[in-house]
Structure 1
Amino acid sequence: MDPGAPPTPSQQAAAPPAASPTTLLGRYQLGRVLGRGSFAKVYQACSVADSSPVAIKIIDKKSKSLNAVTEAQVLREVSAMRLLQSHPNILKIHEVMATRSKIYLVMELAPGGELFSKLTRRGRFTEPATRRLFRQLISALIFCHENGVAHRDIKPQNLLLDGEGNLKVSDFGLSALPEQVRGDGLLHTACGTPAFTAPEVVARRGYSGPKADAWSCGVILYMLLCGSLPFDDNNLVSMYKKIARRDYQFPNWVSKPARYVINQLLHPNPTSRMSLEALLETAWFKKSSVLSKSQSDGSLYEMAALSKDYDFGSVSSVNAFDIISLSAGLNLSGLFETSNKQSKRFTSTAPFEDIRDTVREVGGRLGYAVEKMKGGSLVLRKGGSVLIVEVWEIAQSLMLVEVKVGDGGADFGEHHWGEWRAGLEELVLSWQTDDV
């Protein structure tokens, strides 16, 4: 058969049709899948307008795995990333879009992939290469802590690399925002990945978010230099016994200054554990070194953008997320659908404290007493009726407030909503409807 001859009709019928690229809401062209979880997939994509590369996390609101807890994680991730996006080593979020069935988080693309994958391929890193990446991690985390955010899930899978091998901290779904700190100044929610989580977090005692992140950094530093976990056991009880005994060994290639840093970060007592600020002054961290091309994986310089030396001024550019945040008509009702139809949402530019105080004042006038107040949530009761008010910071100076009826409030009619609407009106930027 002549290879240059056109295909016969039967061959044309047998040939599979060419796959056409999927265009998302007319704005982004989807590419390959970068990763997937129980209720979300992450795609590589590019902007239709300018062909710039991005990553898009697509969250399926209909997934059985998506519940109130995971919804809160998504909102927390958006809030934290929006607050922290001026740091060069924190993954940026560009915009958020939603339909009735999906939520789309459009983020910076990190073409270098996960640090975990590179570590798995290489086995371990040299000390100069480790120091470069570790400095970037510490710089990003100090910036988080200065802005009241504790990451709480630092692990190699959540540390990404850009095209030049620079580190990008990602996945803030388990992060703690300032309003989650209790009156004692501590956090109390146990979360994270056991092999990287500080012992005081697992023990469900009150803990300092920055000190818990410092522990995770100690595990990361050990892994980068040694190629394995310091505490590795399938039995969690056995693993935490090893942690309490500080039962781990160093390979002979790890230098004494590096061992000192790891030992100080992996102290099981958070009071005695080295802080990240103290880490900046250690000899190993401050050591100057020039990386070769092979050591730095393509980058010919050390980037030590420590928060005390870097100017994190206000972002001069205005992106799509900023634009929709300023819109009085911003409708976020499509972000999440609730099984409880007796709920109302509104956006507000008022500070959290003003929203909380106004809710308490209006509730008092209408005969409600505050039964519980924790973080961004208030529970008010009037006889058998219970109202739950939750406040989320979804962008800088933009709050999403949900007022929903708890169990036993089936008789909560429109006239009750009318009273609350009138009382809260001074806070409201825009009431949300069920229309997308």
Structure 2
Amino acid sequence: MSRQRIRVGKYELGRLVGEGKFSKVKFARNMETGEGVAIKIMERDTLLKQKMVKQIKREISAMNLIKHPNIVRLHEVMASKKRIYIVLEFVMGGDLHDKITHDGRLREDEARKYFQQLITAVDYCHSRGVSHRDLKPENVLLDSYGNLKVSDFGLSALPQQVRRITAPEILQNEWFQKDYIPPKFQEDEDVSLNDIDVVFSDSEEQLVTEIKEIQPVFMNAFELISMLQVLNFGNMFEQHMGLVNQQTRFTSKHPAKEIITKIDEAAGTLGFNVKKRNFKVKLQGANIGRKGRLSVVIELFEVAPSLCMVEVHKAGGDTLEFSEFYEKLSSALKDIIWKSKVNIGEIA
């Protein structure tokens, strides 16, 4: 039972945490410091064919200008012969859309805190000549302390003429000022990118090495600890108000190959197209839902001897349809899902 471990420069790539039309985001570990980061990975050929090079350069330039406690931090940018890597701060608390979907309407004091942090971040961006232009709950992340982090500057640009109220005027508003705590931070030196064009050049000197290593499918303690806030082994899946998150997981004491076979059979019965590669399964719904076809990625990890963790996450489609899909899948897999409680210490 094995899979490939991939190192890019000083980072070891781990599990998939997000997927877009032209990029994937993976959790990674800085092998020098042990720090967890998120790495946005894009194929060079795809960017060139889709004429997205200018957009990516603009995204990198925008993030290089802004260092703020409520904005996802850019660590560095790397390139190999085939791919572009954007190394970002890892934010593990999910996004604001999921929080509202699962928890319902926010309390006024909670909403005010998020709005204060959002407007403070927007005001800072505008002061540096950057407009986000794609602010929405899905692009507003929450860290482990419940603080807001603005992400995804792919559509950013120079600010256009302000018409709706200015950020400085909002900052002075009486309602906004109630219980407002201004952020305290020290601005570090800019990330040294030298010339952003260099990551798209063919210069061998600027390329990092991609190393593939065959290792057992085993989620190490560092990766497991990074997920402690969202793991709930007492339940088969994370549930709240009848809904499941866009990413959820369960444990099983059955052999890995048996688990994958059972998932394959269950998905086929539910009418999904199935693509398998080692211990990773991608499912595509046959019907077009409210937000297109439901797409689900399922990946299996070994977290301890005779104990596997199966991670299920929505790659596309509607969250409510994903919730309904899970209910049917969990029913079909009830014979292999381990329902007993587990102590984290027993796993790590």
Q: CA-to-partner distance for each residue in 1:292-343, whole Å, 9 max, x for gaps? A: xxxxxxxxxx7x326xxx56x5415x7xx42x53xxxx79444268xxxxxx
Contact 2:93/2:146, CA 8 A, preserved across alignment: yes
Inter-CA distance 331–169: structure 2 relative to 1 (3 Å threshold):
closer
Of the candidates 182, 202, 216, which is equivalent to residue 305 of structure 1? 182
Q: In the alignment, which residue of structure 1 is the partner of 2:57?
A: 75
Of the candidates 178, 189, 195, which is equivalent to residue 287 of structure 1? 178
Q: CA-to-partner distance for each residue in 1:395-415, whole Å, 9 max, x for gaps? A: xxxxxxxxxxxxxxxxxxxxx
1:148 aligns with 2:25: no
Structure 2 SS opposite 1:88:
coil
Structure 1 SS opposite 2:63:
helix
Contact 2:140/2:149, CA 8 A, preserved across alignment: yes
For residues 24 and 73 of structure 1, what CA distance do their matches in structure 2 show? Answer: 26
Contact 1:149/1:175, CA 8 A, preserved across alignment: yes
Q: CA-to-partner distance for each residue in 1:42-78, whole Å, 9 max, x for gaps? A: 011111112100000000122278522x222211111
Q: Output aligned runs, 1:64-213, within 5 Å.
A: 66-68=49-51, 70-85=52-67, 87-177=68-158, 187=160, 208=161, 211=162
For residues 37 and 66 of structure 1, what CA distance do their matches in structure 2 show? Answer: 16
* Counterpart residue type for residue 79 of structure 1: S
For residues 305 and 111 of structure 1, what CA distance do their matches in structure 2 show? Answer: 23
For residues 65 and 47 of structure 2, what CA distance do their matches in structure 1 show? Answer: 30
Q: CA-to-partner distance for each residue in 1:112-160, whole Å, 9 max, x for gaps? A: 1211111111122101111111110011010011111111111011111
Structure 2 SS opposite 1:24:
strand
Looking at secondary structure, tell me which structure has more strand per residue.
2
Inter-CA distance 92–66: structure 2 relative to 1 (3 Å threshold):
farther
Q: Which has the larger radius of gyration?
A: 1
Q: Which runs of 5+ in 2 are unaligned?
A: 203-348
Q: CA-to-partner distance for each residue in 1:2-27, whole Å, 9 max, x for gaps? A: xxxxxxxxxxxxxxx2335x232242
Q: CA-to-partner distance for each residue in 1:175-211, whole Å, 9 max, x for gaps? A: 113xxx7xxxxx4xxxxxxxxxxxxxxxxxxxx2xx3
1:277 aligns with 2:168: yes
Inter-CA distance 64–138: structure 2 relative to 1 (3 Å threshold):
closer
* Counterpart residue type for residue 142 of structure 2: L
Q: In the alignment, which residue of structure 1 is the partner of 2:188?
A: 315
Inter-CA distance 88–103: structure 2 relative to 1 (3 Å threshold):
same
Q: In the alignment, which residue of structure 2 is the partner of 1:36?
A: 19
* Counterpart residue type for residue 48 of structure 1: M
Contact 1:56/1:106, CA 8 A, preserved across alignment: yes
Q: In the alignment, which residue of structure 2 is the partner of 1:62?
A: 45
Contact 1:89/1:169, CA 8 A, preserved across alignment: yes
Contact 2:57/2:196, CA 8 A, preserved across alignment: no
For residues 29 and 50 of structure 2, what CA distance do their matches in structure 1 show? Answer: 30
Percentage of pairs with the same residue: 40
* Counterpart residue type for residue 169 of structure 2: A
Structure 1 SS opposite 2:131:
coil
* Counterpart residue type for residue 53 of structure 1: G
Q: In the alignment, which residue of structure 1 is the partner of 2:237?
A: none
Inter-CA distance 40–281: structure 2 relative to 1 (3 Å threshold):
same
For residues 97 and 74 of structure 1, what CA distance do their matches in structure 2 show? Answer: 13
For residues 111 and 64 of structure 1, what CA distance do their matches in structure 2 show? Answer: 28
Q: In the alignment, which residue of structure 1 is the partner of 2:327?
A: none
* Counterpart residue type for residue 83 of structure 1: L
Q: In the alignment, which residue of structure 2 is the partner of 1:335?
A: 200
Contact 1:43/1:57, CA 8 A, preserved across alignment: yes
1:19 aligns with 2:3: yes
Q: Output aligned runs, 1:357-396, within 5 Å.
A: none
For residues 143 and 41 of structure 1, what CA distance do their matches in structure 2 show? Answer: 28
For residues 41 and 72 of structure 1, what CA distance do their matches in structure 2 show? Answer: 19
Give the CA deviation at 1:105: 0.2
Contact 2:120/2:171, CA 8 A, preserved across alignment: no
Aligned length, in residue pairs: 203
1:52 aligns with 2:44: no
Q: Which runs of 5+ in 1 are unaligned?
A: 1-16, 182-186, 188-207, 212-269, 289-301, 338-436
For residues 100 and 182 of structure 2, what CA distance do their matches in structure 1 show? Answer: 23
Give the CA deviation at 1:164: 0.7
Q: In the alignment, which residue of structure 2 is the partner of 1:198?
A: none
Structure 1 SS opposite 2:45:
coil
For residues 127 and 314 of structure 1, what CA distance do their matches in structure 2 show? Answer: 31
Contact 1:82/1:93, CA 8 A, preserved across alignment: yes
Inter-CA distance 131–25: structure 2 relative to 1 (3 Å threshold):
same
Inter-CA distance 279–332: structure 2 relative to 1 (3 Å threshold):
closer
Looking at secondary structure, tell me which structure has more helix per residue.
1
Contact 2:70/2:147, CA 8 A, preserved across alignment: yes
* Counterpart residue type for residue 61 of structure 2: S
Give the CA deviation at 1:110: 0.6
Contact 1:100/1:334, CA 8 A, preserved across alignment: no
Q: In the alignment, which residue of structure 1 is the partner of 2:278?
A: none
* Counterpart residue type for residue 280 of structure 1: L
Q: In the alignment, which residue of structure 1 is the partner of 2:258?
A: none
Structure 1 SS opposite 2:27:
strand
Inter-CA distance 336–33: structure 2 relative to 1 (3 Å threshold):
farther
Inter-CA distance 81–333: structure 2 relative to 1 (3 Å threshold):
closer
